[in-house]
Amino acid sequence: MSEPGADQAAIAADLLTWIRQNENLAPAWFLDDGSAAPELAGVGQMPTAEAPTAEASAPAAPTPRATAAAAAVAATVPESAEPAAGDPAFEAACAAFVAGTLALIDREGVPAGGTQPPDPLLAQHGGDKAAALAALGAEVLPCTKCALHATRQHTVFGAGSPDAEIVFIGEAPGQDEDLQGEPFVGRSGQLLTKILGAIGYAREDVYICNILKCRPPNNRDPLPAEVEQCEPHLRRQLAILRPRAICCLGRVAAQTLLGTDASLGKLRQSAHFYAGIPVTVTFHPAALLRNPAWKRDTWDDVRRLRALVDALRSRSAATDS
């Protein structure tokens, strides 16, 4: 049984976060009702954790009584429960993360866009990334290299800006994506859109895709044979896009892309590299719908990602000038 004081602090933290959200002092996505549509139940394959009991649906707006209660308990809320930026400890850790990643890039002499040579389709289309992606998509859409083509409604190639600085990679399409042929369009996709907005990006500014281009039955994990057939499509996408950074959404995407069996918690601690491109890892949005307590960690992850991309852009601009 938990201590009464701990329960009070948790309830106070949730209440204060909700009020700050309604006062535009926290990201709009930071609190959610915590529910997930049934079709999302298998997406992300995150370890099960007990959600905080205070994650019930909130009223549309804070009442005077709620505001007064928050003021009364604000002093009991630990600093670590606050989602707002400006935490000196986080800022120091973020700066160290960026500096360490840049040092690794310098040490290995990694060029912008990574070590993978540009895909031949770029040359065929005069360097036009949009045209090269469209041509690659036309090759991938009718793919029958693995058994998943027999159960799919649509191939889900990817979507977003051909000039994206960041590519977000999930594990595989879900039910909504399979029906619409677009990545991350269900409830988890709506949450991803809000997360992107919190760090200053619209969906049209980034590129979003998956390890697999077809939905596995019942949203199960990708099988090795399916990854073997589908990952070359992803490699070619990245060889066309040549982004500044990649963000893996969830354990399966990160383990598959990086070829590791390390835990999600360990993978989130540092930057990694895929063909010379920096890779960060965070929770799959579907996991956040089931476990809202992980949103704070995700908020830190995506702020570190944004800081790294800003630093890479500044370095590139200085080199070009």
Q: Give the pTM.
A: 0.76
Task: Give dist(CA 13, CA 7) in Å, integer.
Answer: 10
- Tell me the one-letter amino acid at 9: A
CA atoms within 13 A on the CB side of 128: 9
Which residue intervals of the chain are DSSP H helices? Answer: 4-22, 64-73, 88-108, 120-124, 129-140, 175-180, 187-198, 224-241, 251-258, 264-267, 285-290, 295-320
On the 0-12 / 13-18 / 19+ scale of CB atoms within 10 A, 316 is middle
Comparing C-alpha atoms, which of 180, 177, 184, 143 is closest to residue 160?
184
The reported pLDDT for the residue numbered 16 is 52
Tokens of 39: 């079709």
203 contacts 34 by C-beta, under 8 angstroms:
no
Tokens of 20: 């700050």
Sole residue written with tokens 């944004």: 306
The reported pLDDT for the residue numbered 14 is 56
The reported pLDDT for the residue numbered 175 is 93
The strand pair at 207-210 and 272-274 is best described as unpaired
Cα 240–Cα 245–Cα 251 angle in degrees, nearest 5: 105
Contacts 24+ apart (CB under 8 A), 287-290: 287/44, 287/46, 287/250, 288/32, 288/188, 288/191, 289/32, 289/34, 289/35, 289/36, 289/40, 289/187, 289/188, 289/191, 290/34, 290/36, 290/40, 290/44, 290/46, 290/51
CA atoms within 13 A on the CB side of 38: 0
- SS3 of residue 168 by DSSP: strand
The reported pLDDT for the residue numbered 64 is 39
Q: Where are the domains of the chain?
A: 4-82, 89-320
239 contacts 107 by C-beta, under 8 angstroms:
no
Task: Give dist(CA 296, CA 198) in Å, integer.
Answer: 13
The reported pLDDT for the residue numbered 219 is 87
The reported pLDDT for the residue numbered 8 is 60
The reported pLDDT for the residue numbered 71 is 39
175 contacts 214 by C-beta, under 8 angstroms:
no
The reported pLDDT for the residue numbered 69 is 33
Cβ atoms within 10 A of the Cβ of 92, count?
A: 10
The reported pLDDT for the residue numbered 61 is 38
The reported pLDDT for the residue numbered 317 is 85
- SS3 of residue 270 by DSSP: coil
The reported pLDDT for the residue numbered 207 is 98
Tokens of 153: 């409604």
Task: Give dist(CA 42, CA 284) in Å, integer.
Answer: 11
284 contacts 188 by C-beta, under 8 angstroms:
yes
Please report, in tens digits, the pLDDT of each residue of the chain (321 residues total): 445 555 666 555 555 554 455 444 556 666 544 433 333 223 233 333 333 333 333 333 333 333 333 333 333 333 333 344 468 899 999 999 999 999 988 887 777 777 888 999 999 999 999 999 999 999 999 999 999 999 999 999 999 999 999 999 999 999 999 999 999 998 999 999 999 999 999 999 999 999 999 999 988 889 999 999 999 999 999 999 999 999 999 999 999 999 999 999 999 999 999 999 999 999 999 999 999 999 999 999 999 999 999 999 998 888 776
59 φ/ψ angles, rounded to the nearest 5 degrees: -65, 170
Q: Which CATH architecture has domain 89-320?
A: 3-Layer(aba) Sandwich (3.40)
The reported pLDDT for the residue numbered 33 is 42
Cα torsion at 195, 196, 197, 198 (round to 10°)? 50
The reported pLDDT for the residue numbered 195 is 95
